[in-house]
Amino acid sequence: MAGGQGWGRPVVFGPMSRGRRLRVLHLTTSFPRREGDPSGQFIFDLTTHLAGAGVENAVVAPHDAGAARREHLGGAHVRRFRYAPPSLEVLAHRGGIAANMRRPAGAALVPPFLAAFLRAAWLEARRFRPDVIHAHWWVPAGVAGALVGRRLDIPLVVTLHGTDLVLARGRALRRLARWVVGEAAVVGAVSEALRADSAAQLGVAAGDLAVLRMPLRIPRQEVAPPPPPPPLRILAVGRLVPEKGFDVLVDAVERLLADGVDVQLDIIGDGPDLERLAARVVGVEGRVRLLRARPHHEVIERLGDAHALVVPSLREGLGLVALEALAVGRPVVASAVGGLPEAVRHEADGILVPPADPGALAEALRRLPLPPPVAEALARHDPATVVDAHLAAYRRAASWSG
């Protein structure tokens, strides 16, 4: 599918498809709860582009208060499973399951969540009759996909996104992760760096893992430069969880303010660290603002008003928001971790700094404003390129004999 042409044509897949379009059942803990919801937006974008290429998609995802139990969204039939009364469905979204399960209220919900996820995956697989099950994150989606796929003889594709690899560090969970990987026909990671880390941790050859990147939602575009400084306007976007490194960023901004640098930082996101971060920035109120998660179009508008995006992550599988900043012509100051060096080329697209180093981050921010980015990495996340990679993975899975 060169150049993005031909979207909407049927994709017919060998003997398993029996002359119909390819059917893919996506299992995920994160998917938009309604149109415009930022939660799991990258999975929404993937299913949307796959649908444009003729793939029939179904999604199983957790329910949340106010969300429809069933609907068509993102080019997919969506089935949301209930795992608690509406007021107690707090494990998914709001920063992600990995962060929420550390709280007592979240930990108590893990068993009913897993049981409900498995049941919903089973029922949807029976109803939808997919050619491939695609699990996003090895746990819990990969576990459910492996059990359902084995029982119904449906090949499994698992995509590792980063946080799930961290969960596999413990001995018991590493054994479970390796079992899921062994059950999958194809295992992919969202970046080259994550593929290498996954191979080392899961005991497989890197060449046996695919790179299944996520699609960039917006094309590269020309935008007007931001207002001239002062102040230096910087933006950060992400889940409010410790691994995103927002404490490091606030420390760096405090150093700049102490030195008389006129800087304004906006952090957009939701998550379990919201209250703690709000208390943390009281001393710099007005200079550091915490803004709840915004619709995608508003985030892009705010990027256009910023001199740079800052991604201070302590670990990061991909860092899709960095690519979006590059697409709208804004440089990125980011930690040199995970997939971020693949997205942000040092000195060409912005500045890479060591993680957890507020001094180095402050020095990088002093160099703002920077020239517009070169942004060579955008081509790897072009939707047509991403769709082709996923179709190749599905073909490989569909021909897998187990």
Would the pLDDT of 247 be above 50? Answer: yes
pLDDT tens-digit series, residues 155-187: 999 999 998 898 888 888 999 999 999 999 999
- Report the pLDDT value the prediction gives residue 400, as an integer from 0 to 100: 62
Helix 41-52 to helix 383-398 angle, to the nearest 10 degrees? Answer: 80
Where helices occur in 230-316 by DSSP H, the ranges are 246-258, 274-280, 296-305
pLDDT digit string, tens, across residues 267-280: 999 988 999 999 99
> End-to-end CA distance of the chain, in Å?
29
Average pLDDT over residues 203-217: 93
In this predicted structure, which of 90-94, 236-240, 335-339, 379-383 has the lowest mean pLDDT? 90-94
pLDDT value, residue 341: 97
Strand partners, 334: 311, 352
Burial of 373 (0-12, 13-18, 19+ CB in 10 A): buried
Look over the chain and give the mean of its residue pLDDT values, rounded to a whole number. 91
Which CATH number applies to 2-215+382-398: 3.40.50.300, 2.60.120.280, 3.40.50.2000, 3.30.360.10? 3.40.50.2000
Residue ranges matching CATH 3.40.50.2000 in the chain: 2-215+382-398, 232-378
Q: Residue holding tokens 């390819």? A: 22
User: Residue range 336-361: average pLDDT?
Assistant: 97
CA angle (195, 4, 30) in 5-degree steps: 50
Asked if the model's pLDDT at residue 358 lies above 70, the reply is yes
Question: Helix, strand, coil % (nearest 5) of the chain?
Answer: 45, 15, 40
User: For the segment 76-123, what is each residue's pLDDT rounded down to a tens digit?
Assistant: 999 999 999 988 998 888 777 877 777 777 788 999 999 999 999 999
175 half-sphere exposure, CB direction, 13 A CA radius: 2
Using DSSP bridges, classify how beta strands 156-160 and 263-268 pair: parallel, antiparallel or unpaired: unpaired
Q: Which two tokens stand for residue 1?
A: 């599918």
Give which of 40, 210, 13 is closest to 130, Cα–Cα.
13
What homologous superfamily does CATH list for 232-378?
Glycogen Phosphorylase B; (3.40.50.2000)
What pLDDT does residue 361 have?
98
